[in-house]
């Protein structure tokens, strides 16, 4: 009955949307889309958002500046069917349409959602997504097997920062807010010579982290101390050769003291944890256009990260536990990650089509090497009782291509294919020595119809893939150590349109995905008296199903006042998963709320007055595949008001101004002596906060 109602709801919503869109377009066939151009930088050909025959949400510079202050975390609810797992000081692990990891405690990195900043792969370490001097954030939903391979089974998040400007410009931003929040950012850009442009941006952000450690009488044990430094150069070596060079240094020196027995914001730890990440990264993008038939694009990147994750395993102190002590567990993981990649693309020029001048084409090769070394230490009363040293080395190589066949002026058939091979080696101090190797294939076929200049419709069939892996706990049976690669088929119908003299902008997509050999992560507490004694297990489910609807609307009542609404419906289930530990058949997948939305309005007056209000929320969701505990649905209200002038602006803003309690991560296990009863422990999201931000351009 539930499934029948869901199908009826989806059918009604899609039919209503189509009928309203048809009426809106009836009188606007000659609409001009020139004022709505957003270039998609994650695309091979840098098409505009309205030309993209795929589901993609773009958070442009204006939305970032209006709706965000410091981090991508503040904008996640703007993206339909995007969720995140709050097991770290900043979002590291994302779920798109219900697909994605929630943590990495042990073992090798194997992300389902890609995360890229300026062509540099940061998948699985997305805490570096600070917002200062960012041009736009692109969230590609659905499998990206043809373009980005094994790291993008569920989708991809691509962050594009601002490039060097043709003329000198500068920008300064200062923020003061509750929770002892203060930040200062400065960027300067311009030409260094006739052939070289530069952009330098620096920002330091600090806050106490919304927690009060009652035992230590401190309010900064969950602190955020974040430094972002970026240098971008654009060098026109010749008329046919351009080099874009990016250097990034991000230092997250954050605390991690977010868990407590009563799920409040008042912690009791005597050894608060840390969540630190120091990342150095560089990318060089070369564009050579001297050939007659194609442009040659080369992208080289390297990123190294030193990461520390530690936490107080018992969430308490000797006084708190009293006669139930000694009970003092801590855990620490030191991680070193290095990623090196090289990509070469041949992209046909617009006037050099093949097949009787009917088809654009692209051909490319890609190679990447990921090296990760981990040291995990579990301690009781200060003494190490468990240590694991591991070394993981994986090389992926791929060949890919695309052909866009222009059937006629209105219809285009787009095809893409990617063949990817992975070799990996893993060794650890427990004696595991694994060398998996596999070949995977993905792609897409899309039929696109362009109706005049104001409407685009598309139908897509795509396949994504994710590499297999292995479980490393010594108590796992030999036949369950390795698990297979996962594949996903996605069928999608979409429409993008402008109406009412370009005052209405709409994008909507209906998707249906079938997962094969779905990788299911579970964990089990081995000893209820030890909060660190967990076995982590990933196994393949036979099948899974994810389907839903995503819609984004923007309507301009006047040149000064606009409304916007982004909504996502999502329905997921395990079609088959029965093991000795769990029976998940028919249940929703974890971190996959049935709905998410963002509604808002902004007003920008001719006299400089600025007003904005937004309401975001999402449905409840299962915290994990290991238990059946769920979050509660929630709604958050944010506001912003201020004055804007030619060279400066000042804003008063508030986030979660109704101080709603909501939760972003949950665990269900035994952690309290003497009874050791399994209990749901949750991490709260940020409470209400008010602040003041000033900007100056020079």
CATH number of 40's domain: 2.40.170.20
Residue with tokens 């997509």: 509
573 inside domain? yes
pLDDT above 90: residue 507:
yes
Residue 484: both structure tokens together: 């297979």
Residue with tokens 């059937």: 407
Distance CA 1, CA 496 (A): 32
- Split at pLDDT 50, 70, 90, the class of 25 is very low
Mean pLDDT in residue range 493-522? 94
User: What pLDDT is recorded for position 42?
Assistant: 87
> Count of CB atoms within 10 A of residue 572's CB?
25
135 inside domain? yes
**pLDDT tens by residue, 123-171:** 989 889 999 999 999 999 999 988 898 889 999 999 999 999 999 999 9
Question: 21 and 499 in contact (C-beta within 8 Å)?
Answer: yes
User: What pLDDT is recorded for position 30?
Assistant: 40
**pLDDT tens by residue, 563-575:** 999 999 999 999 9
User: What pLDDT is recorded for position 325?
Assistant: 79
- Split at pLDDT 50, 70, 90, the class of 382 is confident
Phi and psi at residue 271, in whole multiples of 5°? -140, 75
**pLDDT tens by residue, 463-485:** 999 999 888 876 777 778 888 99
Q: Can you count the helices (H) and strands (E) in the chain?
A: 3, 36
Residues 6+ positions from 26 with CB-CB distance below 8 Å: none
52 inside domain? yes
Distance CA 464, CA 204 (A): 38
Q: Which domain range does residue 680 map to?
A: 2-166+319-334+364-697
Lowest mean pLDDT among 164-168, 360-364, 469-473, 600-604: 469-473
Question: 451 and 464 in contact (C-beta within 8 Å)?
Answer: no
pTM score: 0.93
**pLDDT tens by residue, 535-547:** 888 888 878 999 9
Q: Does the N-terminal peptide bond of residue 674 adopt cis geometry, omega within 30 degrees of 0?
A: yes
Mean pLDDT, rounded, of the chain: 91
pLDDT above 80: residue 581:
no
Distances (CA, A) of 72 to 158, 197, 432: 11, 27, 37
- Split at pLDDT 50, 70, 90, the class of 83 is very high
How much is the CA Rg of the chain, to the nearest whole Å? 25
- Split at pLDDT 50, 70, 90, the class of 36 is low
Length of the chain: 698
* Positive/negative CA dihedral, 86, 91, 93, 95: positive
Distance CA 352, CA 43 (A): 19
Distance CA 135, CA 164 (A): 11
pLDDT above 70: residue 24:
no
Counted domains in the chain: 1
User: What pLDDT is recorded for position 580?
Assistant: 62
355 inside domain? no
273 inside domain? no
396 inside domain? yes
684 inside domain? yes
Indicate the DSSP class of residue 39. B
Mean pLDDT in residue range 81-103? 93
- Please name which of 92, 116, 91, 95 lies closest in space to residue 41, comparing C-alpha atoms: 116
User: What pLDDT is recorded for position 17?
Assistant: 46
Question: 462 and 143 in contact (C-beta within 8 Å)?
Answer: yes
pLDDT above 80: residue 35:
no
Query: Are β-strands 266-267 and 82-84 bridged in parallel, bridged antiparallel, or unpaired?
Result: unpaired
- Please name which of 621, 548, 544, 623 lies closest in space to residue 584, comparing C-alpha atoms: 544
325 inside domain? yes
Residue with tokens 């040293």: 389
The torsion of the CA quartet 441, 442, 447, 448, rounded to 10 degrees, works out to -140
């Amino acid at each position: 009955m539930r499934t029948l109602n869901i199908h009826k709801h989806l059918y009604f919503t899609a039919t209503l949307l189509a009928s309203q869109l048809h009426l809106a377009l009836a009188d606007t066939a000659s609409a001009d889309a020139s004022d709505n151009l957003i270039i998609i930088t994650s695309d091979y050909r840098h098409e505009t958002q309205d030309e993209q025959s795929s589901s993609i949400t773009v958070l442009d510079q204006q939305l970032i500046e209006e709706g965000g202050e410091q981090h991508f975390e503040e904008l996640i609810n703007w993206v339909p069917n995007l969720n995140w797992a709050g097991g770290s000081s900043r979002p590291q692990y994302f779920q798109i349409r219900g697909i994605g990891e929630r943590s990495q405690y042990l073992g090798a990195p194997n992300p389902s959602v890609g995360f890229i900043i300026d062509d540099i792969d940061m998948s699985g370490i997305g805490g570096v997504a600070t917002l200062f001097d960012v041009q736009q954030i692109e969230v590609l939903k659905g499998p990206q097997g043809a373009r980005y391979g094994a790291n993008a089974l569920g989708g991809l998040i691509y962050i594009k920062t601002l490039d060097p400007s043709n003329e000198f410009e500068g920008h300064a931003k200062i923020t003061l807010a509750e929770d002892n929040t203060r930040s200062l950012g400065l960027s300067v850009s311009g030409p260094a010579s006739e052939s070289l442009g530069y952009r330098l941006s620096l920002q330091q952000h600090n806050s106490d982290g919304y927690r009060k450690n009652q035992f230590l009488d401190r309010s900064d044990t969950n602190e955020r101390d974040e430094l972002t430094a970026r240098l971008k150069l654009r060098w026109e070596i010749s008329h046919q050769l351009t080099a874009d060079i990016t250097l990034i240094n991000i230092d997250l020196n954050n605390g991690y003291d977010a868990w407590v027995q009563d799920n409040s914001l008042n912690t009791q730890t005597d050894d608060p944890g840390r969540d630190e990440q120091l990342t150095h990264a560089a990318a060089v993008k070369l564009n050579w256009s001297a050939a007659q038939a194609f442009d040659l694009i080369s992208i080289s990147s390297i990123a190294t990260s030193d990461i520390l994750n530690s936490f107080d395993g018992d969430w308490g102190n000797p006084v708190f536990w009293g006669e139930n002590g000694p009970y003092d567990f801590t855990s620490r993981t030191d991680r070193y990650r290095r990623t090196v990649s090289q990509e070469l693309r041949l992209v046909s020029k617009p006037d050099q089509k093949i097949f009787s001048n009917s088809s654009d084409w692209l051909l490319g090769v890609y190679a990447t090497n990921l090296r990760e070394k981990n040291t995990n230490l579990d301690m009781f009363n200060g003494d190490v009782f468990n240590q694991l040293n591991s070394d993981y080395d994986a090389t992926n190589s791929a060949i890919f291509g695309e052909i866009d066949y222009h059937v006629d002026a209105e219809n285009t058939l787009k095809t893409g294919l990617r063949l990817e091979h992975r070799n990996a080696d893993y060794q650890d101090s427990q004696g595991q020595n694994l060398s998996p190797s596999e070949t995977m294939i993905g792609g897409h076929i899309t039929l696109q119809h362009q109706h005049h200049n104001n409407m685009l419709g598309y139908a897509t069939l795509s396949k994504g893939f994710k590499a297999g892996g292995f479980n490393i706990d010594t108590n796992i049976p030999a036949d369950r150590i390795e698990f297979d690669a996962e594949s996903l088929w996605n069928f999608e119908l979409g429409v993008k349109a402008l109406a009412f003299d370009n005052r209405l902008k709409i994008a909507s997509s209906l998707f249906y995905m079938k997962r094969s050999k779905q990788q299911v992560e579970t964990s089990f507490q081995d000893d209820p008296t030890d909060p660190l004694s967990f076995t982590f297990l990933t196994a393949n489910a036979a099948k899974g199903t994810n389907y839903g609807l995503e819609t984004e609307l923007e309507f301009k009542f006047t040149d000064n006042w606009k409304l916007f609404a982004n909504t996502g419906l999502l329905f997921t289930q395990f079609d088959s998963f029965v093991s000795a530990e769990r029976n998940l058949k028919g249940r929703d997948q974890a971190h996959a709320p049935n709905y998410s939305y963002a509604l808002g309005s902004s007003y920008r007056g001719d006299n400089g007055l600025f007003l904005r209000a937004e309401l975001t929320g999402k449905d409840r969701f299962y915290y994990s595949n290991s238990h059946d505990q769920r979050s509660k649905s929630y709604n958050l209200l944010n506001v912003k008001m201020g004055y804007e002038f030619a060279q400066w602006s000042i804003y008063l803003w508030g986030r979660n101004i109704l101080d709603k309690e909501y939760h972003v991560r949950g665990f269900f296990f035994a952690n309290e002596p003497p009874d050791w009863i399994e209990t749901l422990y949750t991490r709260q999201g940020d409470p209400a906060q008010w602040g003041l931000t000033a900007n100056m351009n020079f």
